[in-house]
Amino acid sequence: MARAQGKHLMMLPMHLNGAELDVADRKIIWKDGSRLTIAQTAKPIHEITGTDLLAITNHGIGWLEMDYIPQGLNEKQMEAFEAEIENWITEHEKWKTKAGHST
């Protein structure tokens, strides 16, 4: 079971490929136009794969931090974008703590 969950988690960046971000609204914008939070994004993946919700959200956060690269930003805009991502992650971590989850 753990191996299957790990496989699904490794596929998460592929599922997120083509998604965009609205950092001000803290939403992932999917190819179909749906706008979901990190937690909302994790729920259907969990329902389909049975993978742990916390593990999915942690991988989603990793994608925000390391894999998503916005196009067309100059250096100053990129710094502002990265600061917004950090604020988003901080806000999500507070939500996880309040909800009784740990990293």
For the chain, what is the domain count? 1
Q: What is the pLDDT of residue 9?
A: 62
The domain in which residue 55 lies consists of 2-98
Does the pLDDT of residue 102 top 70, yes or no? no
Considering just the CA atoms, what is the radius of gyration of the chain in Å? 14
Nearest to 88, CA basis, from 44, 33, 29, 24: 24
Given pLDDT bands bounded at 50, 70 and 90, which one contains residue 72? very high
37 is a domain residue: yes
Given pLDDT bands bounded at 50, 70 and 90, which one contains residue 16? confident
What is the arithmetic mean of pLDDT over 57-70?
A: 87
Q: What is the pLDDT of residue 82?
A: 94
8 is a domain residue: yes
Does the pLDDT of residue 98 top 80, yes or no? no
Given pLDDT bands bounded at 50, 70 and 90, which one contains residue 29? very high
Asked if residue 13 lies in contact with residue 65, where contact means CB atoms within 8 angstroms, the answer is no
For residues 21 and 29, what is the distance between their CA atoms, to the nearest angstrom?
6
Q: What is the pLDDT of residue 62?
A: 87
88 is a domain residue: yes
For residues 35 and 68, what is the distance between their CA atoms, to the nearest angstrom?
16
Give the residues across from 21 on adjacent strands: 28
103 is a domain residue: no
Q: What is the pLDDT of residue 25?
A: 94
